[in-house]
Amino acid sequence: MAATVKVVERKPRTLWEQSYYPEIFKGLGITMGRFFRNTFGREETVTVEYPDVRPTYPDRYRGHHYLTVRNDGSVACVACMCCPTVCPAACIHIEAAEHPDPTIEKYPVRFEIDLLRCIYCGLCEEACPKDAIRMTSGVHPVPHDNREGFRVGIPELLDKTKLTKCDHGGRDGLGRG
């Protein structure tokens, strides 16, 4: 089977078009138009006066991670390694150990999430067979001034008081509603 080739004729550019001045003027026109519209057309400008006015997040917003606990207060994670395996950003690191309770096979000695690498896709939450890791709605991580603050471990993932809560239309922002 022979391939057919279609030859496309290009019209030659004029000297004016080759100088790129028309494109520069078009870009400046768009920029100046937006500048004047934002400066003098204040009723059309969309601005959120944060933190006085909190944004409302959609119901499917995936915010900060947290770990759930069992009835006895221990972490519900069984260190099955499903969440680090499915994570596309490779931001979850788990070290497992044998649990003293013979009914539970393993537990995480170290469960760490690097929030700077995380893309908040929610795959870790979907992959967990024990529903041990969840992502909150309407809650985002507290800002830090160094990289180490964005590496959260088991104590931070269990402590929901360190989360920054936002208005979410009546939902508590922690869990499923």
Largest CA distance in the chain: 82
Per-residue pLDDT of 60-114, as tens digits, reads 888 889 999 988 888 999 999 999 999 999 999 999 999 888 888 899 999 999 9
In angstroms, what CA-CA distances link 115 with 28, 64, 83, 139, 151? Answer: 38, 9, 14, 14, 6
pLDDT tens figures, 106-154 = 999 999 999 999 999 999 999 999 999 998 877 776 788 899 989 999 9
* Cis before 129? omega within 30: no
Return the amino acid letter for 72: D
- Secondary-structure class of domain 65-165 per CATH: alpha beta
Sketch the domain layout of the chain as residue ranges. 17-47, 65-165
Residues 21 and 64: their CA atoms lie apart, in Å, by 48
